[in-house]
Chains A and B, each alone.
Chain A
Amino acid sequence: MSYQDIIKKLETAALHPAKTVTEQIRKTGKDAFGCFPIYTPEEIIYAAGLLPVGMWGGKTELKLADKYLQSFCCSIMRSNIEYGLKGTYNMLKGIILPTFCDTLKCICENWKAAVPHIPIVPIVYPQNRSIDAGFVYMTEELQRVKGEMEKITGRTLSDDDLEEAWELYEEYRRTMREFTDTAAEYPQIIGAKRRHLLIKAGYFMDKREYTQDIREIIAGLKDEEKKPFAGNRVVVTGLLAEPAELLDIFEENQLAFAADDLAQESRQFRTPGGTEGSVWQRMAGRICDQRGDTFLYEEEKSRGQMLIDMVKEKEADAVVIFMMKFCDPEEFDYPIYKKELEAAGIPMLYLEIDQQMDSFEQIRTRVQSFAEMLA
């Protein structure tokens, strides 16, 4: 397969999650296990011989979820509950849900009542990550989750299983960092939407196959000639950049993504794991070292400076904010980094989004105006 064919394969995989997961289950002979946002210890699931599947909501008519959630709940979580109630997730053996915000805490509790046939394993990461007690707690919490997984699968997990899964995931994360760097050099080939779909495909595939695919795409890209780009390059931040139709508007207006700080994308893989100690300590190290993420307490709040540095490093022209409506943590961070970006003279475009949106006219006007402003 040429690298372009692999791109098409992954794009299709990302656009049709249910089909992709069904095929992967057949191909690998593994059972699928769901992973709620944001940092789910996929390594443990993988080590248990299961196929980790991302659960980042999606576009669906919200009807059943209203039984549990008011309308001012974030659309990703409303979608997930809707899918749970509708039976879309019936192929999952269970799910892991990290409670990074007040909404996630409630979603976990509601899940137990609403979708009792799919067992849920909550995980509570520590917010005080930099002190010893927090680090130790994190390793204990990860091991508790391992115990829960053993109960669900009826299979004992050895340290070797975990080491192997850990190595694969570290390799996946390394590859993804290389991919985003490389993609930024070929905006004509990897536009905003394609970039998103290629990264998203990883949520529905076995990471071994997926990582290999991404490696081949990187190699294919590197053989291409780098061409000057007539449009503008932006750094994007937020929870995620969906619905994907939104990204068509960026491509139409010649806005390429030079780098991202999206929870669904680079925040998943930008930070390598720890290098010392047990596998649990290395896993915990990855969360401890993560910076600039609103879901993890950080006294110095480095996100603004981080975005400024990203803009400089990638020679981008602006920052685009994808604000998931009703996402408290993201909404709290905005005024802080907004001020810092303004002081640095970096133009910003703020877009309020939700996954069920189907009218893009106003956003089209905003994006086009922004492109006109930058040009």
Chain B
Amino acid sequence: MTAGQAGACPSVGLEDLESALFISFGERGRRVICRTLLSPHLACAPLRLLALACCIAAAPARLSAQFQELETPTVRLIYTSPSQSYLIPQVVTTFDNALRFHQKLFGYVPPGRTNMMLHDLWHYGNAGARPFPENHVTVGIAPYGHDYESAPAPERMGSSMNHELAHIFTTDKTTASDRFFRSIFLGKVTPSAEAPLTVAYSYLTVPRWYAPRWYLEGIATYLETWMNGGLGRAIGPYDEMVFRTLVRDSVRMYDVVGLESEGTTIDFQVGSNSYLYGTRFISYLALRYGNERMLAWFNRSEGSRRYFASDFNRVFGRSLEEEWSRWIEWEREWQKENLAAIRRHPTTEARPLTSRVLGSASRAWHDSAKGSILVAVRHPGQEAHFASIEIASGRFTRIKDIPGASGLSVTSLAFDPSARTLFYTTNNADWRHLRALDLATGDTRMLIRDARIGDLAFNRADSSLWGVRHDNGFSTLVRIPFPYTEWNQVHTLPYGRDLFNLDVAPDGSALIGSLSEVSGDQKLVRMSMPSLLRGTVTPEVLYDFAEWAPSNFVFSSDGRFLYGSSYYSGVSNIYRYDVARAVMEPLSNAQTGFFKPLPLTADSLVVFAYSRQGFVPSMIPNAVPDSVSAIRFLGNEIAEKRKEVQGWVPAKGTEVDRSALSAATGKYSALRNFKLNNAYPVVEGYQDVDGNFGVAGGVRANFSDRIGATALEVTTSYSPTKELDDNERLHMRAVFRHWNWNVTGALNRADFYDLFGPTRTSRKGYSLAAQYQGNLMFDGPTSLNYTLRAAGYGGLETVPEFQDVEASYDRLGTVSGDLAYKSLRRSLGAIEDELGSTWGASVRGNYARTTFYPRLVIDGSHGFLLPLDHSSIWIRSAAGTSLGGNRNDPFARSYFGGFGNNWVDHRGIKQFRNTESFPGLDINQVSGANYAKAQIEWTSPPLRFRKVGVPSAYLRWASLTTFAGGLLTDIGDGSARRDYVSAGAQADLRLITISQFESTFSLGFATAAGKNIPRNSALMVSFKLM
């Protein structure tokens, strides 16, 4: 559901762009935005924020014309397409209702309007919030997902507002000291890797943002549940199951450090654990200490401590770690009681089909011809893939990888047994593509790009596919006739209703599914196929599980029964519905939870049993147990003992004036919304060509519009040292971005990281550069970008590209055109990209003193996963040549050498992968007018740290990469030709500080040798701040 903090925040804006713009803009702009914002690289808020700006900059300019803006006294609503306007009254109403509720609860009124952005770039609805530089909420308007009822919710705009505003109130509320620093810095400071002092500034202005995700999500989910009338994770059957399973299997629960260091990275639940543990811990605190005390921990009132863990001590009188341990003990007892309740009657023993735990699993299909089941799985360490599991032997066969898998259901899967074709979806978090896999040949083909269709079901009677399409906030039942290249609308449900978990009767006479209402209620419904084909949609409720949802009901092979699951007893058990008798019967008494039944024979069926590592395909008998007992819910206990939560329902305000809203809506103007975000002091380093070094002090000011599509950063500093010439003491740099454009100007450029060396980016002189970045393809993990750049330099002493290489002339003009293809993927829990390919080609030209020095550079890489989880082999290569001019002129040559890391850095940690790097040699030690380079590397599985550190600083993982490479220069020039070899290794250690900042300590060693160069070894030490 809502993602809240860091993760969701910056996905923020741009995604909206395309939701409705697909029609008017086509795919490209949407993909640019969506792909960038959803990139797994962008795990932390600052990076995502940066990405937001970047992808807005990369978006086609026409997109901006679609942005709409509406201001009310409380919210500045920006949505990316007029087609979303139908939702505006609901958004404004629910926002105001939630705002008033939180104002009363926290005793705080946020200054100014909250910015909000709507978009439709995801398959399922989600939202995020961040407090800087202004309070900002982003909402994806698609219907919520329903997997395993892991995030129950009623109408999604209301739910999103209830949740996201909890983030705003818990992170934005200030004390006098916070307000003081905000006044000093002219606003809340967004952390920037280029100016790492911003970490401190940001902490001083928004201290409660710097807390672990479980803290932020826990309170938001807790409040949201009660504000939703009790529908939410605080009374969630999935949550109960997760902790009950840990207790049943006597498995440790994560401690407060382990949850962040390990629990959100290697567990198949990954980020969901922040919600699971956070909600549970907050609920425990409320039950044990009362809501008032629990809320005091989240309320940044005068006298509270800045750091969340310190404030816990103040409120509860003991350390967070200690109370966390007490909760775990309490939780064990709670779950033991629930297990005892389940065991009052004989429990159902499920026989695993295979010893392998699948992790997340899709719906399974019976391949009767092969005596196996077909299923899509996703497990940490390996890319998601299709698998065939033999029913008799349990033999597990990997069939094909699935790019763009996501969530607990991996992909939407349907099977045509006669054609032996699997239908599935890729880009599952994004706009889904519909694809087919021919099991006979292994070939895959794209059927419908950007279909946005999920919940697939196959109709054997006419070989049609059925599914549910999400678009602009609506769910549409669609039919996809053979050959599956187009879909036809059958019926679009009114806003707030959703249809999911479809199945078609074996004879094609009916379609069943789960239907959710605005209230969050879900019902098992059946629709006559002939009526559907006539366009008449009258769902018949087969069974109402009351407040418990029906899930994944499917027909038996003879169509007489339906099998599915429900948390009717609080535990997900399998149920059988007799169609003729209209009777629902239980088929299991599970201790953990059984899901997604697949009837095989009259005697047995396959179910997916929940385990702590994921789902296990298992067999259970097709028989009715004696009795099934109910379990208790922690949330119910809170509602009973802490009755005030029953009154935590946002009061309805006066009805919104829709005409007034409509009249107040206009096109979004970047200019009107352009403003100063903040300004703060900076420290930079500068070194001239003679090695004289100066420490400069100055100011950086950041301006942008509300969505970051247009931004200006201006930095001015001065080096007081007399070692520098007078004309080198003033340093200035300005970067202006506007959509695809980027203009940079600099005078005696200085840089924070030049304070440390050895890599230096400071340059004497002035420069002005303009760059345009476009996108030729953006599909799934694949992209093809181009960059055009022109720049002019004056007063040069060194070559702009290569440090310490003396320029042959003090003025230089450069032009370049780059083409970059990338298709990189990573498995669940990966620390970096693990497989895929890249290639690039660029033409660059230097023009100096009437001479033009063109160069051509190409490069490529390919990586693949080894059977060892999270372990890859990468092969990289590059070649380049000067195409004219004096080949010995520095402007015509390419230079190599060094690891490339700075002692303190903010760039990628594995700089040795860059073409210009050559570990073992000194920086820019060798050069060539042409060259060829190759490198192979092996990345070992990361070592995860369970508990090394304290909540404010802990280690997450360590990894080791070994590499070897060769370099040829001046090929074809017999006397000048050189060849070099290098081999080495680099170890990286990831450190998390104040919950949000990922720093990495790197240590590398390499040896290089070559013609006329004695064997040389080098040690690299680097600390990447953020």
Q: Do A and B bind each other?
A: no
Binding site for B on A (CB under 8 A): none
